[in-house]
Amino acid sequence: MKRQPIAFADWSGREYAAIARCLLSGRVHQGPYPVLLRERLAQMYAPSTVHLTNYGHHAIEIALGIFKRLRPERVEVIVPAYICPSVIQTVEACGLRVRSVDVQDDLNVSPADVQAALGADTLAVIAPHMYGCPARIHDIESLCNAADVFLIDDAAQVVGVRQDGRLLGTFGDAGLISFAQSKTIVTGIRGSGGVLLVNRPTWAEQANRACAALPPASGRLGPLADFLWNHVGHVYTGHSGYYLGRALAVLGRTPVADQRATQISHLEAGIALAQLGRLDSLLQDKVRIAQAYHQALRAYPRLRFPQFAPGRFLARVMLLLPEGSDFEGVRREARSRGLQTRTGYAAHVSPGSEAPKAQAMARRLLGVPCRPGMSQADVTSICEELNASVERVASR
Ligand SMILES: Cc1ncc(COP(=O)(O)O)c(C=O)c1O
């Protein structure tokens, strides 16, 4: 089959032009784009207020800091058992306890399960829209209000999608967006941008102060080069980035991204503005690709697409392999035929909780290519190859 690589971003000439403008003007870290980006997002998300940082999980950290000051006696945060590990690490780094809640087929928590997990210690609920698939955030907001518990509407992976007429990210007390790889808006990798949305006007000033106190961005050219080489140009550069990284490490020159919270760079804010200018087409292309998978999978009923719904945007296409499949064996087999796949997150189950669905699904969820401009023929051949790989591995 034709090579079918994974894509981590949908960048056009506009994003490369933004990069060129920053490089040619010699302004990579500081410049006017962060202010313009903030204004653009503030118009879009009003009345929520917009606060920029370098990672989505730092937005969670700032929000949890505000909640803790208001309710210091409450120490538990409800988090889905299927989640990006940085969310768990952030809750724990804030000195709070994670309480895992199982997810449904759409990889989101249900209002009933959140309700059942609420207790006297619950400070907050973090409710993500996994891979962009909307959670039942309106119902979760209602039950958090009734229980007097804070809610973070985690829209890390989705920009510009509404539920009940409101943008995801604007429900509850605070929301967030991430600009790292494979999200809706992508500006690079590791620390390339994050947004805190504050949905309570009285907290805007605290969030302003927290973000204004962050150090300026620094060292962002290394992560940009890493992203371009290993995640955008990987079709041509292959595994060379891995060997280059090892060689640089020997020379003590690994481009390590700043793990600390900083301001967003001029460069990455410029890329975000270019992506926002194309938001409708970014969303529409992903809706079209999800539909193409749904169509192609009719011929392969053993492969499931649990997050699909007609017209739904999904940042990634995650398929569920048949029960009992040799997951790594299937990945290897598909790779040997030119089909690149990716894993999802490992389930995280806190002590004393149970999450059988998240654990079972995490072992079988496989990400398949959803590159810009893919045709129905591409998608059909991917599904055909994946199904054949599952069958070949099972028959060994
Ligand atoms: C649902 C969710 N929340 C939060 C984050 C954290 O975002 P960042 O990597 O920008 O810190 C991620 C990152 O993948 C995520 O998927």
Half-sphere exposure of 252 (CA within 13 A, CB side): 0
Could you tell me the distance, in angstroms and rounded to a whole number, from the CA of residue 58 to the centre of ligand 1?
9
Q: What's the mean pLDDT in 181-194? A: 94
pLDDT digits (tens, 9 = 90+) for 131-154: 999 999 999 999 999 999 999 999
pLDDT band at 236 (very low <50, low <70, confident <90, very high): confident
Q: Which strands make up the sheet holding 122-128, listed edge to edge? A: 49-53, 194-198, 174-178, 150-154, 122-128, 76-80, 97-101
Q: What's the mean pLDDT in 380-389? A: 98
What pLDDT score was predicted for residue 257?
A: 62
| Structure-block tokens of residue 146 | 């009734």
Q: Which atom of ligand 1 is nearest to the CA of 57?
A: 11
Query: Which has the minimum average pLDDT: 30-39, 101-110, 222-231?
Result: 222-231
pLDDT digits (tens, 9 = 90+) for 153-172: 999 999 999 999 999 999 99
Question: 279, 46, 58, 246: which is closest to 152 by C-alpha?
Answer: 58
Q: Is the pLDDT of residue 251 over 80?
A: no
Determine if ligand 1 sits within 6 Å of the CB of residue 180.
yes
pLDDT above 90 covers a percentage of the chain that reads: 90
Question: 4, 33, 2, 30: which is closest to 341 by C-alpha?
Answer: 4
Q: Which atom of ligand 1 is nearest to the CA of 128?
A: 1
Cβ atoms 274, 14 nearer than 8 A: yes
Residues 6+ apart with CB under 8 A from 139: 111
Give 123-158 as a DSSP string: EEEEEE-GGGPPP-HHHHHHHHHHHT-EEEEE-TT-
Cβ atoms 189, 222 nearer than 8 A: no
Q: Is the pLDDT of residue 5 over 80?
A: yes
Q: Is the pLDDT of residue 279 over 80?
A: yes
| The residue type at 213 | A
What pLDDT score was predicted for residue 234?
A: 74
Q: Is the pLDDT of residue 48 over 70?
A: yes
Separation of alpha carbons 106 and 108, rounded Å? 5
**100: which strand partners?**
79
* Mean pLDDT across the chain: 95
Longest dimension (CA), the chain: 62
Determine if ligand 1 sits within 6 Å of the CB of residue 193.
no
The full set of domains in the chain, from first to last, is 13-212 (3.40.640.10), 279-394 (3.90.1150.10)
pLDDT band at 238 (very low <50, low <70, confident <90, very high): confident
Q: Which helix (H) or strand (E) holds 318?
A: strand 317-320
pLDDT digits (tens, 9 = 90+) for 87-127: 999 999 999 999 999 999 999 999 999 999 999 999 999 99
**Rg of the chain taking only CA atoms, in angstroms:** 21
* Helix residue ranges per DSSP H, the chain: 13-25, 33-45, 56-70, 85-93, 111-117, 137-147, 204-212, 221-227, 234-237, 240-250, 266-277, 279-296, 327-336, 356-362, 376-394
Q: Which atom of ligand 1 is nearest to the CA of 60?
A: 4
Q: Is the pLDDT of residue 222 over 70?
A: yes
pLDDT band at 255 (very low <50, low <70, confident <90, very high): low
Determine if ligand 1 sits within 6 Å of the CB of residue 361.
no
Q: Is the pLDDT of residue 258 over 70?
A: no
Q: Is the pLDDT of residue 254 over 70?
A: no
Determine if ligand 1 sits within 6 Å of the CB of residue 157.
yes
| The residue type at 195 | V
